[in-house]
Amino acid sequence: MSSPAPGLIHRWDHSFSILSIVTFPRKRLLFAGTQDSKILVFNLPTYNLIRTITLGEGQETHTRSSVLCLERSSDEKYLFLGGADSLVRIWSIYDVDTLNSSIQVEEVATVYSVTDIGDIFSLRYLDTLETLVFGCQNASLLYLDNIFDRLLNISGATEKNIDRLPHRRYDKFFDSLGPSGHTGSPTPPTLEETSSNTIYRCCSREGQMHRILEIPSENIINYAHNGFIYSICKLCLKCSTLLGDGKKHEHVHYHDFNKSAKKASECIISGGGDGISKMWSFTKDEKGNVGVKMVTPELDNENTVLSQATEFPFLYCGLADGVIKIWDLSTKQMVSTLHTPDKYDVISISVYMDHIFAINESGTTMFYENEVVQWTPNQGKMLSSDIFVRQDAPSEKQISFLTGANDGSLTLWDLSDLMHPSPEWAESRTEFLKQQAEAANDQLPFNSEEMLNTLRDLISFQSVSQNPDTAQQLASRRCASHLSKLFSTLGAREVKLLPVRNGTNPVVLAIFQGNGANKKRILWYGHYDVVPSNQNRWHTDPFSLTCENGFMKGRGVSDNKGPLVAALYAVVHLLQGNQLANDIVFLVEGSEEIGSPGLAQVCMDYRELIGKKIDWIFLSNSTWVDRENPCLNYGLRGVINAQITVWSKEPDRHSGVDGGLHKEPTADLIKLISKLQSDDGKVLIPGFYEPLKELSAVDYKRLENVVEFADIDKKITVEELIRNWTKPSLSVTTMNISGPGNITVIPQSATIGISIRLVPEQEVAKIKQSLTDYISHCFQELSSGNHLEMTIVNEAEPWLGDPTNHAYEILKDALTLKWGKAPLFVREGGSIPCIRTLEGLFDAPAVQIPCGQSTDHAHLDNENLRIENWTYMTEILSNVFNTL
């Protein structure tokens, strides 16, 4: 709230409300629709009002044709408007002379419906389909397809349709005041208004005849909503395709839609008084006919949807009482709710580069990550807004924001100082994605620069899954959506975002199809979430990829975005050369750092899609044991993390007043914890060691090789590695007490955290039950009046692979060939929760190939990855994926 308000560039005043706004950035024009049936045209370089277009008959002041919504074609050749007279008008915009502040416009068509639809509240134009879609007061959704074909093919006797226009009809139902403050239908026409002069004016603007187009009855979707349709927003072409089934070959490519117009498809989202946001898909078949279908499910906002905006994958819904709901369109899940400081209806909403601008009666509220900025311009009740990038000179860019109000004021604001990151960053990223799409189309060869650009984009997403704030929640969803686009662009046959039932981050599924005769199906597991970063402890920005001295730095570069990109480009390299023999399935989750909740259920729900038969499971979620020797990992310990709390019904007490009178929670807890281990460190939980087996001679030799060849602490022994990697352990990790922490205060409650690491012979369920029973028994023996509470925070099964299987043998040969030395076979003391789960669900063996070095600092400050390791990993995997 302390951030400065944007700078006011210019202000215009009019006698009536500014109800709608649209900008033509390339033509440097601004159009404002007014309550008194006018369109005001401004020249942005000079800020002059260069034209006033009056709707209706004559030049009298009236509100029968109030301009409620404005829209433009993407090429800025046409202006569309809808209003209170139930008409949609189409204007041609040409001969713009910004130097002399002049413009020539021509009204080319009027679109009407034979049914009484009332006010037209919302309007969108679908460029690839030449289709107008508008939402109305009578809850119907109407569309007119192939508009310009209709204009070219229409007969000359259009005057016959004049008597059917809404201004010649009268319906008392729409003669009442709606929420816009004016009627939806004018009073009955007088004799004077039906003169031949009136007919001429309806058909002519700028001295040219224009056409009257009727909406076909089959293009009227009655009761599309159970209330007024206040807003319609559309998705960009490439985003529209992602709402389908993810099959790339079944959708038009966004960068090549002009070549595939007969198969074009676009999506809109309508919002209404029933609180529902509905997605509609418009598709043109090979005969040129446009059809529409609703995309399920509906999004229930539980309140009137007054305004909407999209910045894929998110839909932002402006509701009553200052509420904004944010939906993930990829998974159809509501991910966040924002509130403006004052509880007024959000009449208009604009979004640009993750910055959300909500307009209501109290002014403008900007939301960005955890920042909230509100400013109250010197205007009346705000009714309309638009955001755009101005470029008055090649080196001058300005992010501008327009607001219109009921006092007739129209204000232009400079947002450049409020925006994070800069416009240049956004443009470079957009350009990169465009180039990347074109590169994939042109079958570009593999190179590390392409990989770096891809990784740079991924690192920029602050996809933190541990206790995320709103900004990080949205960043994670946005990262998932970005990955799905990336997979699709780089050639995946099928891409899908799989929603997780508990509402955590979605799982990204991508399938690359091989062409081998007896192909295998290999699943690559990865994750796009990262642990939090303390920026003060980093030498560089953790969410900006930095390349120095042969290393890459950034949060997630080692764990796990870097290895994920390496695996992806290993596949892309083969695919672009038409050499991919096996099917590769990428399963990338967003919640690994919090124990992978919901992943197992997703795998069960989508087993058919992922693959009935998986042959191998690959992952890279660890590092070498030193900086010199490549490694293959075949074992991980499991884990049970628990919290034990002892508490009293008594409040915090003073040791001088109450000391010695009661059994104290902290003392009881210390006694309890002391019973978990003997003085020599042996774990005393009953049955803890019973399943353990002696280490085999082969495994012992592998650990001897690590001690002999790895550049690790020379004092470490094989026996210490055995204890760390192959034996279970119990650690006391956290201690917390209630109260102020004063040394004279007896805490009401005390909590200790313990972390138990398990080995493959042990079963998590049995050890967990034994721990719970043992703690309860020991507490009962204390005969304390206090209370015990125990919570299992998370758990993971241990894993042991077979380092002699076919996949490990292939990997061993590939690593030896690339690095010039045989890899060390290692185990680790840490845990990866999902490995055993995936092996069990898919009945396939897992293989773990570490990517980086022991100095990667994964989960720590200044996380890094050596570029040589990274690029070698890609080449190794490219070889292995085809050799299996």
Catalytic residue positions? 529, 592
Nearest to 863 by CA among 478, 576, 459: 459
The helix/strand/coil state of 587 is strand
Q: With contact defined as beta carbons under 8 Å apart, do 640 and 768 qualify?
A: yes
Q: With contact defined as beta carbons under 8 Å apart, do 199 and 159 qualify?
A: yes
Report how far Cα 758 is from the mean position of its chain's Cα atoms.
36
Q: With contact defined as beta carbons under 8 Å apart, do 649 and 829 qualify?
A: no
Helices 423-441 and 470-489 pack at an angle, to 10 degrees, of: 30
- What tokens were used for 7? 């700078």
Token pair 């208009």 is found at 348
457: exposed, middle or buried (C-beta count within 10 Å: 0-12, 13-18, 19+)?
buried
Sheet of strand 363-368: strand arrangement: 348-352, 355-360, 363-368, 371-375
Give the largest CA-CA distance in the chain: 107
- DSSP letter assigned to residue 329: T
d(CA 440, CA 452): 16
Nearest to 586 by CA among 615, 564, 606, 612: 564
d(CA 387, CA 21): 10
Q: With contact defined as beta carbons under 8 Å apart, do 29 and 47 qualify?
A: no
Sign of the torsion angle spanned by Cα atoms 585, 591, 594, 596: negative
Q: Is the peptide bond before 560 cis (omega within 30 degrees of 0)?
A: yes
Q: With contact defined as beta carbons under 8 Å apart, do 770 and 764 qualify?
A: no
Q: With contact defined as beta carbons under 8 Å apart, do 376 and 476 qualify?
A: no
- What tokens were used for 565? 């990109």
- What tokens were used for 784? 């304390």
Q: With contact defined as beta carbons under 8 Å apart, do 836 and 797 qualify?
A: yes
Q: With contact defined as beta carbons under 8 Å apart, do 34 and 83 qualify?
A: no
The helix/strand/coil state of 638 is strand
Q: For residue 809, give the H/E element and its range.
A: helix 806-819
d(CA 586, CA 492): 10
Residues pairing with 825 in the sheet:
632
User: If you count them, how many residues does the chain have?
Assistant: 884
Residues pairing with 317 in the sheet:
308, 325
- CB environment 788-815: b (16+ within 10 A), e (fewer): beeeeeebbbbbbbebeeebbebbbebb
Report how far Cα 777 is from the mean position of its chain's Cα atoms.
48
- DSSP letter assigned to residue 249: G
Q: For residue 670, give the H/E element and its range.
A: helix 665-674
